[in-house]
Amino acid sequence: MAQETQLTNLGLLRIGIPQIDEEHRELTDRFERLLADPDASYGSETFVTIVTQITASLRVHFNHEEAIMRSLPMPDEELSRHIKAHDAILVECFQLHEAMMLDVPMSQSEVVLMIERWLVNHVRTTDVKIRAYLPSKIK
Ligand SMILES: [Fe+2]
Ligand SMILES: [Fe+2]
């Protein structure tokens, strides 16, 4: 059974902001669908569709997360480091779309690792830091 502090899929840590936790769950659900779909190999129509959905959802999610972080007493330096990490992920999304459009050969595992970095590693290493600034933690 999943621990109380974890989301069930991909062992994502719960941040403690319901909207953000829900968006993380939706994003990783899409990723799990991509991993489970035998037709979603790099360059396939299904793959392009799922990556397009992930990119659009990430863009919206990052905007929400950044607005919430701005409302918290997070130091400017940490906030700007986090926003830069989001921007770097969006650049990689754009590069992946460009690679798909130009039929640049990439291995499935290379692409899966890239998306995993955006959706799983970022939450585990960077989003978790938001927890320290939640009202319940500051007393
Ligand atoms: Fe983030
Ligand atoms: Fe996030």
CA of 114 to the centre of ligand 1 (A): 16
Nearest ligand to the C-alpha atom of residue 17: 2
Position 10 scores a pLDDT of 62
Position 4 scores a pLDDT of 41
Terminal-to-terminal C-alpha distance of the chain:
31
d(CA 91, CA 5): 31
Which residues does 107 contact at the CB level (< 8 Å), separation at least 6?
A: 42
CA of 46 to the centre of ligand 2 (A): 24
Nearest ligand to the C-alpha atom of residue 79: 1
CA of 63 to the centre of ligand 1 (A): 9
pLDDT along the chain (139 residues), means of 10: 47 86 93 90 92 96 98 97 98 96 93 94 94 79
pLDDT tens readout for residues 23-55: 999 999 899 989 999 889 998 999 999 999 999
CA of 128 to the centre of ligand 1 (A): 9
Q: How many CB atoms lie within 10 A of CB 117?
A: 14
Which residues does 79 contact at the CB level (< 8 Å), separation at least 6?
A: 66, 69, 70
Radius of gyration of the chain (CA): 16
CA of 85 to the centre of ligand 1 (A): 7
- The full set of domains in the chain, from first to last, is 17-137 (1.20.120.50)
